[in-house]
Structure 1
Amino acid sequence: MAVKNPLRQFVDKVNQYPEWLSRFLMTSVFRHKVKLAGTAKVEILRTDGKSVTFLQKNRRKVQNHIGTVHAAAMALLAESASGFIVGINLPGDKLPLIKTMNLNYVKRCQGDITVEASLSEEQIALMQQEPKGEVNVKVTITDGVGIVPLEAEMIWAWVPKH
């Protein structure tokens, strides 16, 4: 039997609260654990356990020289969302590790950026059963006007913690 994952238990519990409180609690814990996400003020909008949606507001501190969300901030958002969904679906005795990030910036973005990262049922089952392995997390990035400014391939590995 898989070791219980405390992060997944937390997410499942706060998802029972009103949406505004659930968002606040998940975002606060994530920002505390992932310091750079806290600095950039990344927000978790929602998760159902199979997918998660993150938001990066187009704030001055994350802008580039032309006033849009910086390329590095978009990469942080994609890495954070994909890592979160992998992290909550692994057994508690496994450690998620980013293996590959392929980023292709295709359009100039406008406004805030949202990222949805998701896993299939098959990927989740594999993560629960195998002591180590890797998954290609589906990531969709959109800006404030619905344009896809970044195509990303995020491959996450997992290994035993000890």
Structure 2
Amino acid sequence: MTVGEMLAATVPMARTLNLEFLEATAERAVLRLPDQSDFHNHVGGPHAGAMFTLAESASGAIVLAAFGDQLNRAVPLAVKADIAYKKLAMGPVTATATIGRPAADIVAELDRGERPEFRVDIDIRREDGAVTGEMAILWTLRPNDLGK
């Protein structure tokens, strides 16, 4: 099962918005929100909530791609999210996520018994390439044995 299939199967909102998983690796994840009138705002573009979900889903895809092999000992959790809407988004939009530091460093912290935190940055773009939004999400890998 691919990362996109896993997210679509386990995250109903990703299915609801018909998100398209274009790429999901440990280095980069790219998701697309098709232009759908059911999810438009008052000016005819994608609703801010739909764009937030798109970006958050892209961050989840890269986290699963980078740390899917750690799920037996830790659960990834979003800790904090900040989003800035930069330009009017119209039509389909694409979110591209990248992790702010090497995955190996994050796993090394987990190996030392720590609860690592790391940032995922996401750009949201229109089809013409203009950045319509930027999001940063702070994630953690919470060890499954935390508190035992």
Q: Identify whether the pair has TM-score above 0.5, normalized to the shorter chain.
A: yes
SS of aligned partner of 2:131: coil
Distance 2:133 2:43 in 1: 17
Distance 1:119 1:103 in 2: 16
In structure 2, how many angstroms separate the alpha carbons of the residues matched to 1:157 and 1:67? 36
How far is the alpha carbon of 1:29 from its aligned partner? 3.0
Is the counterpart of residue 157 in structure 1 residue 136 in structure 2? Answer: no
Aligned counterpart, 2:128: 145
**Mapped contact 2:27–2:99 kept (Cα < 8 A):** yes
Aligned pair 1:95/2:78, yes or no? no
Is 1:61 the counterpart of 2:38? The answer is: yes
For 2:119, which of 136, 147, 150 is the aligned residue?
136
**For the residues of structure 2 that align with 1:77 and 1:127, how far apart are their CA atoms?**
24
What is the one-letter code of the residue matched to 1:149? T
Preserved contact between residue 123 and residue 135 of structure 1 (Cα < 8 Å)? no
Number of aligned residue pairs: give it.
Answer: 138
Q: CA-atom RMSD, angstroms? A: 1.6
Instruction: Name the residue aligned to 1:16.
Output: none
> Hey, what's the Cα distance between the residues in 2 that align with 1:103 and 1:47?
21
TM-score normalised by length of structure 1:
0.78
AA at the equivalent of 2:127 = G
- The answer to whether the 8 A contact 2:31-2:94 is kept is yes
* 1: CA distance, partners of 2:26 / 2:124: 19
For 1:3-62, what per-residue CA distance to the aligned partner results, in whole angstroms no more than 9, with x for missing partners? xxxxxxx44xxxxxxxxxxxxxx5443211111111111110013331111000111222
| Contact persistence 2:87–2:132 (CA under 8 A) | yes
**Structure 2 counterpart of 1:125, which letter?**
A
Equivalent position of 1:49 in the other structure = 26
Q: Which amino acid aligns with 2:134?
A: E
Q: Does structure 2 conserve the Cα–Cα contact (< 8 Å) formed by 1:114 and 1:142?
A: yes
Question: 2:78 is paired with a residue of what secondary structure?
Answer: strand
Task: State the alpha-carbon separation in 1 of the partners of residues 76 and 62 from structure 2.
Answer: 10
Amino acid of the residue matched to residue 113 of structure 1? V
1: CA distance, partners of 2:66 / 2:24: 12
* Unaligned ranges ≥5, structure 2: none
TM-score (norm 2): 0.84
Aligned to 1:125: 104
